[in-house]
Structure 1
Amino acid sequence: MTPDTAAVARFAHDLAAAIGAPPTGAIALAVSGGADSMAMLALAHAALPGRVYAATVDHRLRADAADEAAMVGRWCASVGIPHTILAPLQPPEGASIQAQARQARYDLLGAWALGTGATALLTAHHADDQAETFLMRAVRGSGPSGLAGIRTRWRLQPERWRGDAAAGPHGMLVVRPLLGWRRASLRAFATTAGLPFVEDPSNVDPRHDRTRFRALLAETPLLDVGGLARAAQHCAQMDAALAETIVLLEQDRVLAAPPEERCINVQGLPRELQRRMARRAIEHVRSMAQPAEGSWGAGTNIEPLLDALESGSGATHAGVAASAAGDRWRFRPAPPRRSP
């Protein structure tokens, strides 16, 4: 069945807005087999015929996952879309399985998307996902960066990609063109278009935080999904404005230091700006020294480090040693740990 032309036009508009320009070349899609991602797949195929690649990740955590991936593959074959099934060498296990699975998923999808030559990797996150994420982070006390929720676009650039010519200097652009779409409308589109799709049992598993917040939204009409998603968008705009402010501040507040170090002047700055300058300093040192020790990411907590620096002492975090001399904070590669 031919997809609704108005929906296809809306998708094409939203995709161009998310990327910042109409897409050039091929695009890669992460397709789980759920109604949301299958709707995105059909919309992308209609909007950009012959320019779509699709992949499904089988984490090997559920027996049905292989059949679901095969289902996506069959539909792709029926319309001429190249489809790949990806799987990690070892399935996630132990604590934080969802976080491990997410990391493995993006590692696999990013490397695959680079291999296709695609200019962007699309995921099917939508407005309901955004509202759930906003609530989850709000109750955890997140600041503007966390409350910004699911970003419309971001760059996937794992540290292990350093030196990979295919990744280039900017990695892979990840885009979410459906953040203005509701879950119900995507399901209705998939049903009307006759698309096959599956229900992931983890979406109703009460052991997961997101499932509980999804139920809370469904049971509480006053928690308007559209309003929460707009609040996340406002936080994203605030976060972007603060990021630009930091770039301007660094012109005067980054002091002379060896290339592999970073020294900053934080005099008179509120903690949020200190936090952001410190994070950028750590990222600078790690990019120069490439320490083998410590892990680092957008959600890494540096509050204990800030407390130590504000008290005039120092600490080591993510392979970076930080010290304070009044309002001057210095960041340098931490010496290797001694073997026992």
Structure 2
Amino acid sequence: MSRPDGSSPDEPLGPAEGAALLKPWIGRGAAYRGAVLAVSGGPDSTALMGCAALCGAGIPLVVATVDHGLRPASAAEAEEVAGLAARLGFAHRVLAWTGPKPPARLQEAARAARYRLLADLAREAGVDLVLTAHTLDDQAETVLMRLCAGSGPAGLAGMAPARALDGLTLGRPFLGIPKARLVATCEDQGWPFVRDPSNIDPRFGRARLRRLLPLLAEEGLTAERLARLAARLRRDEAALGDAAEAALSDLRRSDPGGEGRLVLDGTGLAALPEAVALRSVALAVVAFQGDAGRQGEAPAYPPRLERLERIVLGEILPALRQGLPCRRTVAGLLLAAGGGRLTLSPAPPRRPPGLHST
């Protein structure tokens, strides 16, 4: 069965199609100084490297393989990538994730380490772009994982085609391409690749969800439809984010109590649509944390959506509408409603357990 663009779900990418996907990122006239290609040795990233070689890059490229040191074969696989990179005309670096590995949430920690190492190499090489080979299947799995975790629209928007990465740009040129097409591309071009056994390891949530995708597709919930959902939510979330930023700018008031607080017009906040009001408070929390960080204090973690909804929608906004006082702590900040205002300030330190005033 063909896809909406007329291609087969397992048809290899032709040179022209691969070039069309990559030229906006690395072709002549691209907006970037150079790029790091993240290549693990799997079929997706191997296709990324091979297609980059075929399209004739107009900016400097370096191939990087992150060796997480989690499997005995990982070092040998990195060397295989180095060999193929050399045959394709690319410089190659192996980036090792050293130090102790956490016993829990290992894949999340590995992902964070991978991006940190790639960003460090990009800065060292004087380039400003990191390209990964995330596919349509990866997007579908991400949306399903976040749906299972109870994420809101921002989470269900999935992965963006481009996002900021520690002062650089992270690009995903294959985000609309099924994994099967990249496997077929490698086989068609004779590019050797490896398969990571962790991708089918049932200990990991993403691997378990991966087994469900064919069953969901039989009911009509295909990877394409999950990706379309993500794109729609990303579009709507961007519009709501812009509305919230504009609202927050309008709501900010001078602080009669001096510095160290952020004051919002509570009446105006309570009159906003709840989706915009919620995002405005979230942005205010982030802004206050940023100010604290610039002043040398440790910023608190951003609030979880469930807690922010419960406190802002369930308590703060009703209190503002009814003219009642309300004080709640969120992400290390005290949110105080009263007198037609919402004031954000550092939360008072918690009293140690067992210590009571007399």
Q: Where does 1:38-77 land on structure 2 (aligned, <5 Å)?
A: 38-47=46-55, 48=57, 51-77=60-86
After TM superposition, the score normalised by the length of structure 1 is: 0.84
Structure 1 residue 32 displacement after superposition: 1.2
Structure 1 residue 305 displacement after superposition: 4.8
Residue matched to 1:165: none
Residue matched to 2:168: 172
Q: Which one of the candidate residues 15, 30, 35 is aligned to 1:27?
A: 35
Whole-Å separation in 2 of the counterparts to 1:297 and 1:98: 23
Whole-Å separation in 2 of the counterparts to 1:327 and 1:44: 58
Q: Which one of the candidate residues 267, 270, 278 is aligned to 2:281?
A: 278
Q: Where does 1:215-234 land on structure 2 (aligned, <5 Å)?
A: 215-220=211-216, 221=218, 222-234=220-232
Residue matched to 2:6: none
Structure 1 residue 79 displacement after superposition: 2.5
Range with greater deviation from structure 2 (21-30 or 104-113): 21-30
The 1:180–1:268 alpha-carbon spacing in structure 2 relative to 1, beyond 3 Å, is same
Whole-Å separation in 2 of the counterparts to 1:273 and 1:146: 17
Structure 1 residue 334 displacement after superposition: 4.4
Local SS of the residue matching 2:121: helix
- The answer on whether the counterparts of 1:59 and 1:91 sit within 8 Å (CA) in structure 2 is no
Structure 1 residue 211 displacement after superposition: 1.2
Q: Where does 1:227-242 land on structure 2 (aligned, <5 Å)?
A: 227-242=225-240
- Structure whose CA Rg is larger: 2
1:292 paired with 2:298, answer: yes
Local SS of the residue matching 1:313: strand
Range with greater deviation from structure 2 (42-51 or 101-110): 42-51
Long gaps (5+) in structure 1? 158-170
Q: Where does 1:308-319 land on structure 2 (aligned, <5 Å)?
A: 309-310=316-317, 312-317=326-331, 319=332
Supply the RMSD in Å over aligned alpha carbons.
2.8
> What amino acid is the match of 2:262?
R
Residue matched to 1:8: 18
> What amino acid is the match of 1:39?
A
Q: Where does 1:178-217 land on structure 2 (aligned, <5 Å)?
A: 178-217=174-213
Superposed CA deviations along residues 120-141 of structure 1, whole A, max 9, x for unmatched, are: 1111111111111112222333
- The answer on whether the counterparts of 1:59 and 1:87 sit within 8 Å (CA) in structure 2 is yes
The 1:314–1:49 alpha-carbon spacing in structure 2 relative to 1, beyond 3 Å, is same
Q: Where does 1:75-86 land on structure 2 (aligned, <5 Å)?
A: 75-86=84-95
Q: Which one of the candidate residues 320, 337, 358 is aligned to 1:324?
A: 337
Residue matched to 1:164: none
Local SS of the residue matching 1:132: helix
Superposed CA deviations along residues 286-336 of structure 1, whole A, max 9, x for unmatched, are: 22211326434898964455356456222041x433332266322234467
Alignment length (residue pairs): 321
